[in-house]
Every structure is written in structure tokens, then in C-alpha cells.
Amino acid sequence: MTELPRNPYNAHAWITGDPEIGAGTWIGAFTVIDGSGGLSIGAGCDVSCGVQIYTHNTVRRCVTGQAYPQVDRAPVRIGDRVFFGANAVVLMGVSIGDSAVIGAGAVVTGDVPARTVVAGVPARPIGTVRADGTIEHGAGQ
């Protein structure tokens, strides 16, 4: 049986590379945290079970039969106090602002502004986080 790499966050999380993870951030079980392309996660974030954060992909290498030999990498930047719902996925090159909420099962393919709630596949804005922590669901968002 293969053991997960040791990390100080959760014995059942797979954390690779050398991500910067802020104080007070909680990482749930069965997560994949890929720091191989550069990853910073701010302070006070909650990363729910099953979340996957990627800083690389091998699509071009795969579909060209490795005629495109490299692995593409781009850093991911996550602000402070960001909440990730269970099984959310963040793709390489994305920035997520402070106090954002990523809904369960969302696939984040583009930047998320601070205090924005996103959900869906691909993730789209559905609301705003107020200063008191309540969420305002907006029409047309």
C-alpha cells in the first residue's frame, strides 16, 4: 500500500510541491493540494474534504502522444479566509480573492474576486459575501 506524503494538515491529504499555507488554514481529508507549479493559500481558509487544487496539467502532453513533452504549470493564489465546499476543483493559474466562497463540487477555471460566491461547472458567480459573513444571492449573478 502506498502511503501519503506526511504533512502537518491532515494525514489523509495529498500535498505535493512546496505550497505556502497560511496560519489557521484547515485542510480536510482526501484532498489533493498540488504545489508543484507554485501555490499560496492564505490564512484562515477552510478546505473541505475532497477538494483538489492543481497547479499543473498534462493535457497537451497526453493528446499529442508526448510530442509536446512538457507539463504545463501555472501558480494558484488563494487569499485569506476562503471557504471551499466539498469536492471543489481549482485549476492551474487561478487567483481567488479574500473571503470568497467556492461551492461544493464547483470547478474553478478562472479568477474569483474577493467576497464572491461561485458555484457550478464551470464555476460562476452566484452571490456576494457581506462583511458580517452573510451571503447575498444576487439576481443575474
Helices (H), the chain: 59-63
17: left (phi over 0), alpha (psi -120 to 50) or beta: left
Judge whether 107 and 121 are in contact, CB under 8 Å: yes
Judge whether 6 and 15 are in contact, CB under 8 Å: no
Judge whether 86 and 48 are in contact, CB under 8 Å: yes
- 6 pLDDT exceeds 80? no
Residue 76 dihedral angles phi and psi, to the nearest 5°: -115, 135
Judge whether 9 and 41 are in contact, CB under 8 Å: no
- Read off the pTM: 0.92
Judge whether 118 and 112 are in contact, CB under 8 Å: yes
pLDDT tens track for 99-140: 999 999 999 999 999 999 999 999 999 999 999 989 998 744
**Full set of structural domains in the chain with CATH:** 14-128 (2.160.10.10)
Q: How confident is the model at residue 8 (pLDDT cuts 50, 70, 90)?
A: confident
- 141 pLDDT exceeds 60? no
